A and B are shown apart, each in its own frame.
Chain A
């Protein structure tokens, strides 16, 4: 491959103002052109000499062209995300935040699997094989269109992390980003997924040969706003709205949620905002300077504000928490009390489907639950309990 004439022309156009990108430097002065890469430096070149010199560092030229012409959007989250995909240095990453975000650590023991950015020659080697990153439950591969004679043009493949080892022939292949909406709508059991960052994305599909823009669009349909908020976090300017702020902002039927007691907000965070339920990492606290004890989780995407599901659930809990506590008396054996605990735990952990039909040793087994109901519920279908505090 050689440096194309139009690449040269474009470079010459930019040379007057100076080109400095990913290790490539081209400047124009009274002495002629200066070309510099991490390995070499040429000075006092005329156009022909510059063209010749560029031939020896064509990787830098095609890399520059890809980011200059094809990706563009300097300073945008889209560009930063595509650079993250191929482990290119992130110009706008604050050093303090450079290791946050959904870095792929899948290949433990492989030094290259982490967040260390790659220089152009290493990246070009890696892009021939494909560079893999993980974004939540998405596995993204950046690769060259032409691996034998790369001209710098990248394409991107996308599938579920669980399918990373699958034969592509076994997957349903898509190329329209909008198909991601359908794929993200239901979980494996056919249940609606109102929370896009729930860790329940079904597998079995692949997007292949996406352009950079189409990749970002697809990712946005799977995980809306995660790219933008990741980029903000990377730049150190993620804006966080804490619980009280969000709660006090609500009107209409949600107006009441700022009355949810602080300790109930703790329980709510513990119930909703954990890795088993959501891939986001809770960054919001009760209010600025008043952190919740509940762990925010290790999710890859920053959660900058209570989501609409939490707000809706908070309304219910606000109502429930306004009730007065009473003392009830009911007859239970010790094992039955234990069984209530097992039942609650099984539902909370979404474990009921896993309990085997005949596993009567599990307190949440359906026959055990039906037996308890038959024994302890009255004719109205209620637990036989007596309030004793009035």
Chain B
């Protein structure tokens, strides 16, 4: 038997923070690739601390639903899962190349394949592009468009910006969009000045965040000038300084994220059969029918 655990942050204050985790777990449940699929959280239940004991499987694949390698993926999650032999060097990562490490959870004696976060997986690049497609409702979006990947950025963790730049570069290499730019909330170049960085009239802005919340639904839309007050909502696209900004919130809510979770587990040796194809088909069919216009109905908390 093999189990999948999706390890996410969750929130004591905001019930929506765990929505993407549940959604992607449910998608993977539908594929039947794992005997057990479990959500686990730092701020909700089941807590990282207790999740492994709720599983009957001996082989457990843990995929962190986090954007960057750093404090949570290298310190908090392995510690709380009781992966005593864990050492960040096991990932041999430069900040964006973590794959997996096989360890034992000491309280249960199960084999844990501890994977790198979804945010730094190559497949994440496709999700960002898909986000641009759903935001514009155009599966061929690219020509005449600029794309900005937006991250939090922080001086405390250099890996935080690395993931953003990594995917920006990969998308730029594809020559699909006229321009690609990594922008940040807390470091230069800042998302506040988004229009300064693009010549294209149309700019798709994709925030590399797991869940919609304060940053993606309040800070960023206001900082970019999409709206005076997030509670009033904003248009997609919204006119800012002679540009059209296409913005629909956290990339982590995109259906294709389930595929990244699966790829992480498969890279670590999980037998997932044709689950990836199933998820990609599902995500494509959702994209075809058009996105829910989520803009302006932000969670507001």
Contacts and interface: CB of A to CB of B under 8 A. Distances in A.
B75 A251 contact: yes
B56 interface: yes
A305 B53 CA distance: 14
A178 B26 CA distance: 9
Contacts of A63: none
A76 B44 contact: no
Interface in B13-38: 13-15, 22, 26
Given A307-B47, A308-B43, A194 B53 contact: no
Contacts of B50: 224-225, 228-229, 304
Interface string B34-74: 00000000111111011101101000000000000001000
Nearest to B41: A308
B76 A252 contact: yes
Contacts of A227: 54
A304 B53 CA distance: 13
B15 A185 contact: yes
Given A78-B56, A225-B50, A239-B107, A309 B26 contact: no
Interface string B84-119: 000000000000000000000001000000000000
B79 interface: yes
B297 interface: no
A186 B15 contact: yes
Contacts of A196: 44-45
Contacts of A239: 107
Interface residues of B, number: 24
B107 A251 contact: no
Contacts of A73: 56
B54 A228 contact: yes
B11 interface: yes
Contacts of A181: 22
B54 A308 contact: no
B13 A220 contact: no
Contact of B45 (A225, A228, A232, A251): A225
A247 to B, nearest CB: 14
A78 B12 CA distance: 28
A305 B11 contact: no
Interface of A: 73, 76-78, 178, 181, 185-186, 192, 194-197, 220, 224-225, 227-229, 232, 239, 249, 251-252, 304-305, 307-309, 312
16 contacts: A76-B56, A178-B26, A194-B13, A194-B44, A196-B44, A224-B45, A224-B50, A225-B47, A225-B53, A228-B53, A239-B107, A251-B71, A251-B76, A252-B75, A308-B42, A308-B43
